[in-house]
Structure 1
Amino acid sequence: MSDEQKAQELISIFVCEKDPDIENFLKEKAILFEKIGKSRTFLVFNEEAEEFGVLAYFTIALQVLKVRESLSNRKIKNFDGFNAKINGERITEFPAILIGQVGKNSLYKDNISGYDLMQYCMNTVLDGQMRIAGRIVMLECRNIPYLIELYGQFGFTILEKDYAEDELLQLIKILREEELIEKQGIGEA
Protein backbone atom coordinates (compact mmCIF):
# COMPACT_ATOMS: atom_id res chain seq x y z
CA MET A 1 0.00 0.00 0.00
CA SER A 2 1.42 3.41 -0.99
CA ASP A 3 1.80 6.33 1.43
CA GLU A 4 -1.00 8.11 -0.40
CA GLN A 5 -3.31 5.12 0.00
CA LYS A 6 -2.47 4.92 3.71
CA ALA A 7 -3.21 8.62 4.14
CA GLN A 8 -6.47 8.29 2.22
CA GLU A 9 -7.49 5.38 4.44
CA LEU A 10 -6.72 7.38 7.60
CA ILE A 11 -8.68 10.43 6.54
CA SER A 12 -11.62 8.46 5.13
CA ILE A 13 -13.06 8.04 8.63
CA PHE A 14 -12.74 11.74 9.55
CA VAL A 15 -16.13 13.31 10.32
CA CYS A 16 -16.81 16.96 11.07
CA GLU A 17 -20.48 17.39 11.96
CA LYS A 18 -20.11 21.11 12.71
CA ASP A 19 -18.63 22.05 9.33
CA PRO A 20 -18.88 19.76 6.29
CA ASP A 21 -16.41 22.01 4.41
CA ILE A 22 -13.67 21.01 6.87
CA GLU A 23 -14.41 17.32 6.31
CA ASN A 24 -14.64 17.75 2.52
CA PHE A 25 -11.34 19.62 2.31
CA LEU A 26 -9.50 16.85 4.13
CA LYS A 27 -11.08 14.07 2.08
CA GLU A 28 -11.17 15.76 -1.33
CA LYS A 29 -8.33 18.31 -1.52
CA ALA A 30 -5.68 17.85 1.17
CA ILE A 31 -3.65 15.19 -0.65
CA LEU A 32 -3.83 17.02 -3.98
CA PHE A 33 -2.78 20.30 -2.33
CA GLU A 34 0.17 18.44 -0.74
CA LYS A 35 1.25 17.06 -4.11
CA ILE A 36 1.20 20.42 -5.86
CA GLY A 37 2.79 22.29 -2.94
CA LYS A 38 -0.24 24.51 -2.28
CA SER A 39 -0.50 23.67 1.42
CA ARG A 40 0.64 21.28 4.10
CA THR A 41 -1.85 19.33 6.18
CA PHE A 42 -0.93 18.10 9.65
CA LEU A 43 -2.84 15.26 11.28
CA VAL A 44 -3.19 15.09 15.04
CA PHE A 45 -3.65 11.66 16.56
CA ASN A 46 -3.37 9.92 19.91
CA GLU A 47 -0.30 7.69 19.82
CA GLU A 48 -1.32 5.94 23.03
CA ALA A 49 -4.82 4.91 21.96
CA GLU A 50 -5.45 1.27 21.06
CA GLU A 51 -7.34 2.32 17.95
CA PHE A 52 -5.42 4.65 15.66
CA GLY A 53 -7.58 7.56 14.58
CA VAL A 54 -7.16 11.13 13.43
CA LEU A 55 -8.33 13.39 16.27
CA ALA A 56 -8.01 16.60 14.30
CA TYR A 57 -6.07 18.33 11.56
CA PHE A 58 -4.89 21.72 10.42
CA THR A 59 -3.57 23.06 7.15
CA ILE A 60 -0.94 25.73 6.63
CA ALA A 61 -0.08 27.60 3.44
CA LEU A 62 1.48 30.80 2.21
CA GLN A 63 -0.87 33.63 1.34
CA VAL A 64 -0.90 37.29 0.39
CA LEU A 65 -2.78 39.48 2.83
CA LYS A 66 -4.33 42.43 1.00
CA VAL A 67 -5.36 45.46 3.03
CA ARG A 68 -7.27 48.52 1.93
CA GLU A 69 -5.26 51.54 0.90
CA SER A 70 -7.15 53.77 3.32
CA LEU A 71 -5.46 52.19 6.36
CA SER A 72 -3.30 54.60 8.30
CA ASN A 73 0.46 54.66 7.75
CA ARG A 74 0.89 53.52 11.35
CA LYS A 75 -1.23 50.38 10.79
CA ILE A 76 0.48 49.58 7.50
CA LYS A 77 3.88 50.04 9.12
CA ASN A 78 2.74 47.67 11.88
CA PHE A 79 1.93 45.00 9.26
CA ASP A 80 5.25 45.50 7.47
CA GLY A 81 7.31 45.95 10.61
CA PHE A 82 9.48 48.56 8.94
CA ASN A 83 7.77 50.91 6.47
CA ALA A 84 4.37 51.99 5.22
CA LYS A 85 5.68 52.72 1.72
CA ILE A 86 8.16 51.26 -0.76
CA ASN A 87 9.55 53.64 -3.37
CA GLY A 88 6.84 56.15 -2.44
CA GLU A 89 3.99 53.64 -2.97
CA ARG A 90 1.75 52.54 -0.08
CA ILE A 91 2.21 48.90 0.82
CA THR A 92 -1.12 47.08 0.57
CA GLU A 93 0.00 43.45 0.21
CA PHE A 94 1.93 41.46 2.77
CA PRO A 95 3.21 37.89 2.83
CA ALA A 96 1.37 35.83 5.41
CA ILE A 97 1.25 32.36 6.84
CA LEU A 98 -2.30 31.11 6.37
CA ILE A 99 -3.94 28.66 8.71
CA GLY A 100 -6.27 27.41 6.02
CA GLN A 101 -8.26 24.72 7.77
CA VAL A 102 -8.63 23.68 11.40
CA GLY A 103 -10.96 20.88 12.35
CA LYS A 104 -11.70 18.25 14.95
CA ASN A 105 -12.95 14.76 14.18
CA SER A 106 -16.46 14.46 15.62
CA LEU A 107 -15.76 10.80 16.40
CA TYR A 108 -13.09 11.90 18.91
CA LYS A 109 -14.33 15.38 19.80
CA ASP A 110 -13.73 14.91 23.53
CA ASN A 111 -10.15 13.69 23.05
CA ILE A 112 -8.72 17.08 22.10
CA SER A 113 -9.76 20.63 22.90
CA GLY A 114 -9.82 23.45 20.39
CA TYR A 115 -7.20 25.17 22.52
CA ASP A 116 -4.84 22.17 22.36
CA LEU A 117 -5.37 21.89 18.61
CA MET A 118 -4.47 25.58 18.18
CA GLN A 119 -1.37 25.01 20.35
CA TYR A 120 -0.19 22.31 17.93
CA CYS A 121 -1.02 24.55 15.01
CA MET A 122 0.79 27.63 16.35
CA ASN A 123 3.87 25.56 17.29
CA THR A 124 3.98 24.31 13.71
CA VAL A 125 3.53 27.85 12.37
CA LEU A 126 6.41 29.11 14.53
CA ASP A 127 8.62 26.19 13.42
CA GLY A 128 7.96 27.13 9.81
CA GLN A 129 8.45 30.82 10.50
CA MET A 130 11.84 30.07 11.98
CA ARG A 131 12.91 28.55 8.66
CA ILE A 132 11.26 30.86 6.12
CA ALA A 133 10.51 34.08 8.07
CA GLY A 134 7.22 35.99 8.03
CA ARG A 135 5.49 38.04 10.67
CA ILE A 136 1.79 37.82 9.87
CA VAL A 137 -0.36 34.77 10.53
CA MET A 138 -3.89 34.81 9.22
CA LEU A 139 -6.96 32.63 9.23
CA GLU A 140 -10.55 32.91 8.16
CA CYS A 141 -13.56 31.79 10.12
CA ARG A 142 -17.29 32.19 10.35
CA ASN A 143 -18.58 34.88 12.68
CA ILE A 144 -19.07 32.48 15.58
CA PRO A 145 -18.31 33.98 19.01
CA TYR A 146 -16.64 30.90 20.55
CA LEU A 147 -14.28 30.61 17.55
CA ILE A 148 -13.37 34.29 17.66
CA GLU A 149 -12.77 33.97 21.40
CA LEU A 150 -10.60 30.86 20.93
CA TYR A 151 -8.46 32.53 18.26
CA GLY A 152 -8.31 35.67 20.40
CA GLN A 153 -6.60 33.63 23.12
CA PHE A 154 -3.75 33.17 20.63
CA GLY A 155 -3.55 36.87 19.78
CA PHE A 156 -5.67 36.90 16.63
CA THR A 157 -7.80 39.97 15.94
CA ILE A 158 -10.40 40.62 13.26
CA LEU A 159 -8.98 42.51 10.30
CA GLU A 160 -10.73 45.85 9.89
CA LYS A 161 -12.74 45.92 6.67
CA ASP A 162 -16.31 45.82 5.43
CA TYR A 163 -17.57 42.24 5.41
CA ALA A 164 -20.55 40.96 3.44
CA GLU A 165 -23.25 39.24 5.48
CA ASP A 166 -22.04 35.65 5.05
CA GLU A 167 -18.39 36.43 4.32
CA LEU A 168 -15.74 34.71 6.41
CA LEU A 169 -13.97 37.00 8.84
CA GLN A 170 -10.23 37.43 8.38
CA LEU A 171 -8.28 37.23 11.61
CA ILE A 172 -4.64 38.15 11.85
CA LYS A 173 -1.85 37.87 14.33
CA ILE A 174 1.36 39.79 13.99
CA LEU A 175 4.10 37.73 15.54
CA ARG A 176 5.87 39.61 18.30
CA GLU A 177 9.62 39.77 18.53
CA GLU A 178 9.63 37.91 21.84
CA GLU A 179 7.66 35.00 20.31
CA LEU A 180 10.19 34.70 17.53
CA ILE A 181 13.21 35.03 19.77
CA GLU A 182 11.82 32.54 22.28
CA LYS A 183 11.09 29.97 19.55
CA GLN A 184 14.50 30.36 17.93
CA GLY A 185 16.37 30.21 21.21
CA ILE A 186 18.07 33.54 20.56
CA GLY A 187 19.25 35.28 23.66
CA GLU A 188 19.68 32.16 25.77
CA ALA A 189 22.76 32.12 28.01
Structure 2
Amino acid sequence: MEITLLADMLKNENGEIQFNRLSDIFSCRNKDVESFLKNKAVQSSKLYTSATYLVSEITDKIDLLGYFTLATKMLTLKPENLSASQSKVIKRFVSRDADTDTFRLPAILIAQFGRNFSDSSKSIKGFDLMRIALERIERAVSLTSGKVIFLECEPKQKLIDFYEQCGFRLLNNIVYSKDKKELVQMFRII
Protein backbone atom coordinates (compact mmCIF):
# COMPACT_ATOMS: atom_id res chain seq x y z
CA MET A 1 0.00 0.00 0.00
CA GLU A 2 1.11 3.51 -0.68
CA ILE A 3 0.02 6.57 1.29
CA THR A 4 0.31 9.85 -0.63
CA LEU A 5 -0.28 13.33 0.67
CA LEU A 6 -2.42 15.06 -1.96
CA ALA A 7 -0.41 18.29 -1.57
CA ASP A 8 2.73 16.38 -2.60
CA MET A 9 0.97 14.87 -5.61
CA LEU A 10 -0.16 18.32 -6.72
CA LYS A 11 3.47 19.51 -6.81
CA ASN A 12 4.16 17.14 -9.71
CA GLU A 13 3.81 18.44 -13.25
CA ASN A 14 0.65 16.43 -14.02
CA GLY A 15 -0.34 15.88 -10.41
CA GLU A 16 -3.79 17.40 -10.61
CA ILE A 17 -4.61 15.44 -13.78
CA GLN A 18 -3.42 12.22 -12.13
CA PHE A 19 -5.51 12.99 -9.04
CA ASN A 20 -8.62 13.70 -11.14
CA ARG A 21 -8.26 10.31 -12.85
CA LEU A 22 -8.02 8.60 -9.47
CA SER A 23 -10.91 10.48 -7.91
CA ASP A 24 -13.16 9.94 -10.96
CA ILE A 25 -13.40 6.23 -10.15
CA PHE A 26 -13.86 6.78 -6.42
CA SER A 27 -17.31 5.80 -5.19
CA CYS A 28 -18.35 6.04 -1.55
CA ARG A 29 -21.59 5.20 0.21
CA ASN A 30 -21.47 8.60 1.88
CA LYS A 31 -21.95 11.02 -1.01
CA ASP A 32 -20.65 13.98 1.05
CA VAL A 33 -17.34 12.14 1.51
CA GLU A 34 -17.22 11.33 -2.21
CA SER A 35 -18.10 14.91 -3.16
CA PHE A 36 -15.38 16.37 -0.93
CA LEU A 37 -12.72 14.24 -2.60
CA LYS A 38 -13.88 15.07 -6.12
CA ASN A 39 -14.75 18.74 -5.64
CA LYS A 40 -12.98 20.23 -2.62
CA ALA A 41 -9.87 18.24 -1.70
CA VAL A 42 -7.59 19.95 -4.23
CA GLN A 43 -8.67 23.45 -3.18
CA SER A 44 -8.32 22.61 0.54
CA SER A 45 -4.85 21.19 -0.08
CA LYS A 46 -3.75 24.26 -2.04
CA LEU A 47 -5.05 26.56 0.70
CA TYR A 48 -3.51 24.37 3.44
CA THR A 49 -6.82 24.22 5.32
CA SER A 50 -6.62 20.44 5.49
CA ALA A 51 -4.39 17.55 4.50
CA THR A 52 -5.84 14.76 2.39
CA TYR A 53 -4.09 11.40 2.30
CA LEU A 54 -4.72 8.96 -0.52
CA VAL A 55 -4.31 5.27 0.24
CA SER A 56 -3.65 3.29 -2.90
CA GLU A 57 -2.31 0.05 -4.21
CA ILE A 58 -0.08 0.09 -7.23
CA THR A 59 0.03 -2.92 -9.51
CA ASP A 60 -0.29 -2.51 -13.26
CA LYS A 61 -2.55 0.45 -12.41
CA ILE A 62 -3.19 2.67 -9.41
CA ASP A 63 -6.17 1.64 -7.28
CA LEU A 64 -7.37 4.34 -4.89
CA LEU A 65 -8.51 2.20 -1.94
CA GLY A 66 -9.63 5.00 0.34
CA TYR A 67 -8.69 8.37 1.74
CA PHE A 68 -8.85 10.52 4.84
CA THR A 69 -8.54 14.24 5.46
CA LEU A 70 -7.09 15.80 8.60
CA ALA A 71 -7.33 19.34 9.93
CA THR A 72 -6.50 21.17 13.13
CA LYS A 73 -9.61 22.64 14.73
CA MET A 74 -10.79 23.92 18.07
CA LEU A 75 -13.03 21.44 19.83
CA THR A 76 -15.54 23.24 22.03
CA LEU A 77 -17.22 21.20 24.72
CA LYS A 78 -19.89 22.17 27.20
CA PRO A 79 -19.23 20.61 30.62
CA GLU A 80 -22.86 19.53 30.93
CA ASN A 81 -22.49 17.46 27.74
CA LEU A 82 -19.64 15.42 29.19
CA SER A 83 -19.91 12.43 31.44
CA ALA A 84 -17.92 12.60 34.67
CA SER A 85 -15.19 10.36 33.24
CA GLN A 86 -15.00 12.35 29.98
CA SER A 87 -14.76 15.61 31.93
CA LYS A 88 -11.95 14.18 34.06
CA VAL A 89 -9.99 13.15 30.95
CA ILE A 90 -10.54 16.47 29.13
CA LYS A 91 -9.54 18.54 32.17
CA ARG A 92 -6.06 17.03 31.94
CA PHE A 93 -5.49 18.90 28.67
CA VAL A 94 -7.36 22.17 29.04
CA SER A 95 -8.94 24.46 31.56
CA ARG A 96 -12.47 25.75 31.57
CA ASP A 97 -13.13 29.06 29.83
CA ALA A 98 -15.04 31.05 32.43
CA ASP A 99 -16.41 33.55 29.89
CA THR A 100 -18.13 30.92 27.74
CA ASP A 101 -18.39 28.14 30.35
CA THR A 102 -16.86 25.70 27.88
CA PHE A 103 -13.72 23.71 27.35
CA ARG A 104 -11.90 24.78 24.18
CA LEU A 105 -8.97 22.76 23.05
CA PRO A 106 -7.00 22.41 19.85
CA ALA A 107 -7.50 18.97 18.37
CA ILE A 108 -6.98 17.04 15.18
CA LEU A 109 -10.19 16.60 13.25
CA ILE A 110 -10.63 13.60 11.01
CA ALA A 111 -12.62 15.72 8.60
CA GLN A 112 -13.19 13.07 5.92
CA PHE A 113 -12.83 9.31 6.00
CA GLY A 114 -13.93 7.08 3.16
CA ARG A 115 -13.37 3.78 1.42
CA ASN A 116 -13.68 3.23 -2.31
CA PHE A 117 -16.70 1.06 -3.07
CA SER A 118 -16.27 1.25 -6.85
CA ASP A 119 -16.56 -2.12 -8.59
CA SER A 120 -13.12 -1.49 -10.10
CA SER A 121 -11.47 -1.05 -6.67
CA LYS A 122 -10.19 -3.63 -4.26
CA SER A 123 -11.05 -1.14 -1.44
CA ILE A 124 -9.62 -1.32 2.06
CA LYS A 125 -11.08 -2.41 5.38
CA GLY A 126 -12.27 0.46 7.52
CA PHE A 127 -10.10 -0.63 10.44
CA ASP A 128 -7.02 -0.66 8.20
CA LEU A 129 -7.79 2.82 6.89
CA MET A 130 -8.30 4.06 10.46
CA ARG A 131 -5.01 2.47 11.57
CA ILE A 132 -3.19 4.38 8.81
CA ALA A 133 -4.95 7.64 9.74
CA LEU A 134 -4.08 7.22 13.43
CA GLU A 135 -0.44 6.49 12.56
CA ARG A 136 -0.27 9.75 10.58
CA ILE A 137 -1.91 11.67 13.41
CA GLU A 138 0.46 10.23 16.02
CA ARG A 139 3.43 11.17 13.82
CA ALA A 140 2.14 14.75 13.48
CA VAL A 141 1.44 15.07 17.19
CA SER A 142 4.90 13.79 18.07
CA LEU A 143 6.34 16.71 16.07
CA THR A 144 4.08 19.31 17.67
CA SER A 145 1.71 18.80 20.57
CA GLY A 146 -1.77 17.67 21.43
CA LYS A 147 -3.52 14.57 22.59
CA VAL A 148 -7.10 14.79 21.28
CA ILE A 149 -8.56 13.58 18.00
CA PHE A 150 -12.19 14.09 17.09
CA LEU A 151 -14.59 13.47 14.28
CA GLU A 152 -18.16 14.25 13.39
CA CYS A 153 -20.43 11.68 11.85
CA GLU A 154 -24.05 11.05 11.09
CA PRO A 155 -25.91 9.65 14.11
CA LYS A 156 -26.13 6.16 12.61
CA GLN A 157 -25.53 3.33 15.04
CA LYS A 158 -23.37 1.37 12.58
CA LEU A 159 -21.00 4.34 12.21
CA ILE A 160 -20.93 5.02 15.94
CA ASP A 161 -20.20 1.35 16.65
CA PHE A 162 -17.35 1.34 14.12
CA TYR A 163 -15.72 4.43 15.58
CA GLU A 164 -16.15 3.11 19.14
CA GLN A 165 -14.36 -0.07 18.06
CA CYS A 166 -11.56 2.23 16.84
CA GLY A 167 -11.24 3.75 20.32
CA PHE A 168 -13.44 6.83 19.96
CA ARG A 169 -15.96 7.85 22.61
CA LEU A 170 -19.29 9.43 21.84
CA LEU A 171 -19.77 12.95 23.15
CA ASN A 172 -23.19 14.19 24.09
CA ASN A 173 -22.81 16.94 21.48
CA ILE A 174 -25.00 17.51 18.49
CA VAL A 175 -23.55 19.77 15.81
CA TYR A 176 -24.84 20.74 12.40
CA SER A 177 -22.99 20.68 9.11
CA LYS A 178 -23.04 23.63 6.71
CA ASP A 179 -25.94 22.00 4.91
CA LYS A 180 -27.84 21.57 8.22
CA LYS A 181 -27.26 17.82 8.65
CA GLU A 182 -27.27 16.65 12.24
CA LEU A 183 -23.95 15.16 13.33
CA VAL A 184 -22.58 13.68 16.54
CA GLN A 185 -19.06 14.26 17.80
CA MET A 186 -16.71 11.53 18.96
CA PHE A 187 -13.24 11.88 20.45
CA ARG A 188 -10.18 9.85 21.27
CA ILE A 189 -7.12 10.58 23.37
CA ILE A 190 -3.79 9.48 21.88
Q: Indicate which of 35, 38, 50 corresponds to 1:24.
A: 35
Structure 2 residue aligned with 1:55, among 43, 59, 65?
Answer: 65
Which structure: greater strand fraction? Answer: 2
Measured on the aligned residues, the alpha-carbon RMSD in Å equals 2.7
Moved >6 Å (runs of 4+): 86-89
The 3-state SS of whatever aligns with 1:58 is strand
**Match among 150, 175, 183 for residue 162 of structure 2:** 150
Contact between 1:59 and 1:101, CA under 8 Å: does it hold in 2? yes
Given that 2:116 and 2:123 are in contact with CA atoms closer than 8 Å, whether structure 1 keeps it comes out as no
CA positional deviation for 1:149: 1.6
Q: 1:74, 1:84 within 8 Å by CA — same for their partners in 2?
A: no
Q: Which residue pairs with 1:168 in the alignment?
A: 183
Which position in structure 2 is the counterpart of 1:92?
A: 103
Which residues of structure 2 form unaligned runs of 5+?
1-12
- Aligned residue number for residue 23 of structure 2: 11
Question: Matches of 1:138 and 1:7 in 2, distance apart?
Answer: 27
Question: What do the CA deviations read for 1:18-48 (whole angstroms, capped 9, x no partner)?
Answer: 111111000100010001111000011113x
Query: Residue 82 and residue 60 in structure 1: after superposition, are their counterparts in 2 closer, same or farther (change >3 A)?
Result: closer
Q: How many residues align?
A: 173
Q: Which runs of 5+ in 1 are unaligned?
A: 176-189
TM-score, length basis structure 2: 0.79
Tell me whether 87-96 or 111-120 shows the greater mean CA deviation.
87-96
Displacement, 1:170? Answer: 0.4
The answer to whether the 8 Å contact 2:68/2:114 transfers is yes
- Displacement, 1:6? 1.9
Distance 1:118 1:76 in 2: 25
* Counterpart AA for 1:95: P
Q: Secondary structure at the match of 2:173?
A: coil
For the pair shown, which has the larger CA radius of gyration, 1 or 2? 1
